[in-house]
Every structure is written in structure tokens, then in C-alpha cells.
Structure 1
Amino acid sequence: MARNAPPAPTPRDTAVNAPHSAPDAIRRIRLSSVRLPLAVPVSDAKVLTGRQRPMTEVALLFAEMATEDGHEGLGFSYSKRAGGPGQFAHAEEVAPDLLGEDPSDIGRLWTKLVWSGASVGRSGLATQAIAAFDVALWDLKARRAGLPLAKLLGAHRDSVRCYNTSGGFLHTPLDQVLDNASAALEAGIGGVKIKVGHPDRREDLRRLTAVREHLGEDAALMADANQQWDRPTARRMGRALEEFGLVWLEEPLDAYDAQGHAALAASLDTPVATGEMLVSVAEHAELIRTGAADVLQPDAPRIGGITPFLKLAALAEHQHLPLAPHFAMEIHLHLAAAYPYEPWVEHFDWLEPLFEERMEIRDGRMLVPRRPGLGVTLSGRAREWTVAERELGHA
């Protein structure tokens, strides 16, 4: 070695002094508005009281992203009965602001998209459209890392307790409800939720009695009133339902009646669950502040995606609240697996035709996929049900 030659670089020196590679960039976004038909029109308590019409389809907004380095991500949001065209239109308007951006900067990009459409607000339809992009960015990040999303977030478990809802709607005859409940448990699902809120409360009690007797005392059973009752009715029904040993009583009151839910939760042994209809972290924070929910039920697509969901989960964890995220199990399975306290995830088979893969269920639990990202890809049926499409960027 020459006398005045510099010392050979150490691995650390090499890493520090190496030129920085250029960040990856979003080069293409494909938006799809999909109309998923339901085999049977669906009715809950809001239909029986004339507030809503039976639900015949679910509108979904899909966002597919690709980057300069060849990474891809898939995200979705949804709406029921109305709102699908509005979500798609808003997504079309703000999507160009993502082109050329580094997909790793998810928090910054969420804020950028919110401010792109700030004049229409920072919740509701606007952020539900943003949710499709946000989920796609998280899916892309996990795929690039070669990890399931739950592992990227930091999983506490590899499977999550799950319960079925789709077999217990009010339009379903009781005999069929019982058959559906048995089929769910035989398929390995861990619990069953049925709808209540008939105009005649005796019908609710008759159906719940039959389901409890059919399943036995040890089966996990939930009841969902879908915001049907006023405060006095909720108190009376809450007391009447205590005998059924419910895991929770869901949405007994208007979704925005935090004070009423708090008073009811304090008066009942049965846990009160709510939150699915709220569309922002701030609204859920009010539930937490008032003690309105024994079980919090946020919906990531409704509150703007995974980024705000994680903020909400931190608030819920601080108050030691159980979570039972609403709908969209393909997303919520990963988020529930990353929550410290043992959660539940809702099994709905409605969206299954949209994806090539199926969630695996065993011994009452839904297993986190080992595939990278969300672990799902769009099916040919999803393409067939597409009613509007827009591609931005370059192939």
C-alpha cells in the first residue's frame, strides 16, 4: 500500500457515502367504478321503517397503481345505495396530483389529496374516494417489502376472530336464518350476528330466542339494530336482550347520538358497539371521549383509508377499547391483526366474486394471508361489472 494512500473504506463508510438512488415515482393510475349486484335485495331495520329502500348492489371504487420501478398496488372504497358515481368523479379530479409522487410518502400524499378537494370537506364522500388511493399505497408498500400488510404494520397475531353478518338480515325468513347460522359455524366462522329492529319488538325476541336455542349457550351471538330505536326503546330492548348473553348490541341508537350511546352503555351489562357509519377520525374521537362505545367499529374506507384508521386505532388503544371493524374484511383483517387487543373482523361473502383469492377461515378465526400486501387481485367478474374507467399517466 502506498504510504499516503487513504484507508480502505469500511462498510459503514461505503453506505454513508454511496450516492442516493432516485426515489420511485407513481407513473400510472387506473380507476374503476364497479357495480356489484346482490343475489337477493337486502333489508335491515331502516328498510322496514321506510328510511331506505332495499339494497340491490354495492358500488366500489378501485384504484390500481404502478410505479416507475415496476411496483403495483390495489386499493378500494365502496358505497351502498348511493354515492358510487360521486366517489369515482372525485377520485378522477384528484388522481393527477399523485402522478410523479414517491409512493412511500403515504401520510403526505393523504394530506395532499385532502387539500386537493378541501372545498368539499375533509370527511364523507371526499375522503372515501381518497381511501381507495390510500389503501393502494399501503398495498404497494407491503408488496414491495414482500410482506402481508399486517406484518408490515406490525402484527400481534396471525389470525383474527371472525363472525358472519350476511346470513341474518331482516328480509331472511327465520328458518333460513337458522340454517345460515349453522352453515357459518360449520364453515369455521366464530360467531353469528343477526339483525333486530322490527316494528314489533316481540318479533325480535322471537327470532333471537330461536337463534340462541338453535346455536346453544356457548356460541358467540351479536345483534344489530341499525340505528332503529329511540332512547327509551333502546333501554327497554337492551334490558330485554340481556338474557341472550350477546357479545354486543350494535347501533341501538342514531349513529351520531354519542350521549345516548354512552348512557345506554353505562346501564347495560351487554356491551354496546357502534361507529360503522361515522366518516372521520374526529367523529370516532367523540365516541371515545364520551364513553359511547364498549366496542368500536370503524370502517377504513369510510373514514379515508388505512392512514386515518391507524390514527384512530391509537386513540382506541389508549382507552383499552376492543375493535370490530365494519365490512371490507379484505382490508380489515390486516388492520385487526395489527391491533394490540383481541379484535373481531366481520365476515361478508358479498365481495368475494370481485377477487381471485378467498380468505381462509379455521376454528373460528380468519387467517391473515401470507401473500404480500392485502393478498388479493381483481377477478374477471370485477372487470365485467365495471361501469366507468379512467387511466392516468403512462403505461
Structure 2
Amino acid sequence: MVTTPYTSSSAPFAGDAAPDRIAWLRLSSVTLPLAAPISDAKVFTGRQQPMSEVAFLFAEIATEQGREGVGFSYSKRAGGPGQFAHAREIAGQLIGEDPSDIGRIWTKLVWAGASVGRSGLATQAVAAYDVALWDLKAKRAGLPLAKLLGAHRDSVRCYNTSGGFLHVPVEDVLTNASASLASGIGGIKIKVGHPDGRHDLRRLAAVREHIGEDVPLMVDANQQWDRTTAQRMGRSMEEFGLAWIEEPLDAYDAQGHAALAASLDTPVATGEMLASVAEHVELIRHQAADIIQPDAPRIGGITQFLKLAALAEHHQLQLAPHFAMEIHLHLAAAYPIEPWVEHFDWLYPLFEERLEIRDGRMHLSGRPGLGITLSEQARAWTVARHEEGKRP
């Protein structure tokens, strides 16, 4: 029997999918105002001003066949206009591309702006496109993104951060914690890193007493301790049975994090401020974290997050992605080791849908893709817009 090898010129198999191409895209720069300015340790140490708004970069993509996807990136404080400008400059690179070729498109977009770097603002602009392409791909399959990726669970443990900032009086922190737990959230995180460590310990003791010993409790120093202070505060906090101490040191101090993680019983978590997979690799190489906290929009999108997640799993690290729960719920659900996802209600006005939270967990919906639709309020908060191509 003679067989004919397959070549690129061979006729397509019966039932082959018709090719599709990106025909149109729209970028929107949206400024989300916060209900009140918030302060963490970076404000109390004088390094930043209170945050009153968050800048979002939304990318909407449509194909010749009428498939659509939406993605976003963001910047707290400065950077939003820069992300939008970079995304606008490279937008034309997407028109005519096959939306299934997400990895190749990511590389093409990054190299289009490689002279300004392959991390940070440049790849955060690419992230909005990348997330939109993954959303489109899952919608085309008729699946929630987590199911497309291969979910390990239909819900993820969740904890609340937004009620425990340093500017909030401790009485209100307790009230906020009670409200979060009553709403179905499973854990509470509060900010620490006040210049007077005794202030942190008093607040922490009050919260632990208020919520009880069985509720997972985390703290976040937002990089404001030096190595000596982190050791002392870490030891002082051991009695509270914390789920983790987050960002005790500068985000790039891998050696310091490694020494701290080795010396404390409390797990050390970090990574949210890193802006590439390569920077996270340094953390992992130094064994600098028990819990890794990547942020998909910050490191370049879902394509890059999946690369990092595979490496983290190989090293048996726990995962607790930072912010953007609308994206990270899906990515955490697809991580083999039981993860956490961070609950923020700040983004509620941007979307028509709400994520279901009960019994300490955030639950996947049956909606395809990310399961989000931009709200009319998001449209109203749009401060800049750009379109390429022609919408089908």
C-alpha cells in the first residue's frame, strides 16, 4: 500500500473550519473614580499620594465572521494614558490576523514596540489585546475561559482586600470584615506597613479577635519594610496564624524575600508588582515566595500568565493572583494547586454582570469567555477612544 505524505499544498480535510480574520478593534481609556481616596503603606511612608481613581484600557475585537472578544489592562495612579497611547500605536498590527494565533500575535505586538522594552507599560498595553483574544476564543468554543483552559474546579477560595486599607479606622475595618464574611467571602486581608509597627499590631489583634481564629487572615505591607523590620514584624505576627504576609520587602529583593520565607512559619507572598514573567522567574529561582501573586494584565496578559503558572506548579507554589478578579477567577480555577482569588468591588460599575460569591468561594458562571460585558457607565467614563478596521 502506498501512502501520500501530507504537505501544505494538500487539499483540506472535510469539515475544516473556515479561516477567520480580525476585522475591527476599539480601544477605550476609561477612568474609574473611587468612592473615596485610599491609602496603603506607600502613602504613609510618603512615597505615593492617596489613590482616587484607576485607569483602565479596554480592547474590543471583532472578526470577519462576527466573533467578538473584550479584554482589559489597567494602571493605578500614573500610566493609563501611556498604556492607551502604546496600544493605539500598535493597533494596526492586529487587523487581518487569525485570532486563533494568540501566541504568535502576542510576539508580533511585543516586537512592534520592543525598543521601549518587553515588560512594563509596553506589554501591559499588549495585555488588553491578549485578554480579548482569549475571551474571543472561549466564546467561539461556547465555554467559560476556565473550561477552555481545563478547569480543576468550578469555584475558588476568595478573600477581601478593599475593606482593610490603612486610612480606614479600625472600627470600620471590623465592620467591613463582618460585611465581607456575611456576603460569602472566605478570608480577610488588611494593610500593614505603618511607620509605627505597634499601630499595625494593634489593628491586627483587633481584627483577629473580631473574626475569630478560623477565618483566614492575611496582611499586606506593600513593600514598605526593610529586611530588619520585616523579620521583626514577621515574628511578632506569628501568633495571629496568618495565611500569609504579602509584599514585606521591595518587590525586586528576591534574596531578602528568600531569607524571610526561610525564617518564618508564616508563608510569604509576593509578585503583584512585577511586570514580566522573567521577573517572576527570579523570585522562583531564589525560592523567595511560598505564594506567588502574578497579575495577568501587568505581565502581558493570559498568554504570559499561563507560562508562569506552569512554572509555579512545577515548583509546587501556591497561587493568589492580584486584583482583576474578572480575569483571575478563570486562571485560578485552571491552576492545579488550590489557589486564592482577590475580591475587589471597585470594578463592579464597569460590567453588567456580577460574580457569584458564597460559602467562602467565588464561583464560575456558565457564561462563555470571561463572562463580562462593558456597562453604559464604563462607556460614560471613557476619556479616549480609538478604532481600527471596519466592524462587520
Which digits, 9 at most, give the CA deviation of each residue in 1:168-219, with x for residues without a partner? 0001011000000000000000000000011111100000000000001111
Which of 250, 272, 282 pairs up with 2:246? 250
Which of 82, 96, 99 pairs up with 2:95? 99
- Separation of aligned partners in 2, 1:64 and 1:369: 21
| Aligned residue type for 1:378 | L
Paired residues in the alignment total 381
| Aligned residue type for 2:304 | P
Which of 231, 238, 257 pairs up with 2:227? 231
Which of 54, 63, 79 pairs up with 1:58? 54
Show the counterpart of 2:45: 49
Show the counterpart of 2:236: 240
Secondary structure of 2:210's aligned partner = helix
Q: 1:253 to 1:23 in 2, by over 3 A?
A: same
Which of 291, 304, 308 pairs up with 1:308? 304
Secondary structure of 1:382's aligned partner = helix
- Separation of aligned partners in 1, 2:149 and 2:55: 28
Query: 1:1-395 alignment to 2 at 5 Å?
Result: 17-18=13-14, 20=16, 22-395=18-391
- Separation of aligned partners in 2, 1:115 and 1:275: 24
- Separation of aligned partners in 2, 1:392 and 1:198: 47
Identity of aligned residues (%): 80
Which digits, 9 at most, give the CA deviation of each residue in 1:106-145, with x for residues without a partner? 0000000001001001000000000000000000000000
- Separation of aligned partners in 1, 2:120 and 2:61: 23
Once the 2 structures are TM-superposed, how far is the Cα of residue 18 of structure 1 from its aligned partner?
3.1
Q: 1:93 to 1:174 in 2, by over 3 A?
A: same
Secondary structure of 1:254's aligned partner = coil
| Aligned residue type for 1:28 | W
- Separation of aligned partners in 2, 1:280 and 1:263: 23
Secondary structure of 1:65's aligned partner = strand
Secondary structure of 2:248's aligned partner = coil
Which digits, 9 at most, give the CA deviation of each residue in 1:309-353, with x for residues without a partner? 000000000000000000000000000000000000000000110
- Separation of aligned partners in 1, 2:91 and 2:13: 36
- Separation of aligned partners in 2, 1:232 and 1:67: 55
Q: Give TM-score scaled by structure 2 length.
A: 0.96
- Separation of aligned partners in 1, 2:14 and 2:28: 41
Once the 2 structures are TM-superposed, how far is the Cα of residue 23 of structure 1 from its aligned partner?
1.1
| Aligned residue type for 2:376 | G
- Separation of aligned partners in 2, 1:109 and 1:74: 16
- Give the unaligned 5+ runs of structure 2: 1-10
- Separation of aligned partners in 2, 1:110 and 1:66: 17
Query: Which structure's CA Rg is the greater one?
Result: 1
| Aligned residue type for 2:37 | P
| Aligned residue type for 1:222 | M
Once the 2 structures are TM-superposed, how far is the Cα of residue 369 of structure 1 from its aligned partner?
1.5
- Give the unaligned 5+ runs of structure 1: 1-14
| Aligned residue type for 1:317 | E
Show the counterpart of 2:8: none
Q: 1:20 to 1:361 in 2, by over 3 A?
A: closer
- Separation of aligned partners in 2, 1:274 and 1:66: 36
Two-structure CA RMSD over aligned residues (Å): 1.0
Which digits, 9 at most, give the CA deviation of each residue in 1:344-390, with x for residues without a partner? 00000001100000010010000012100000000000000000001
- Separation of aligned partners in 2, 1:370 and 1:345: 18
- Separation of aligned partners in 1, 2:109 and 2:29: 19
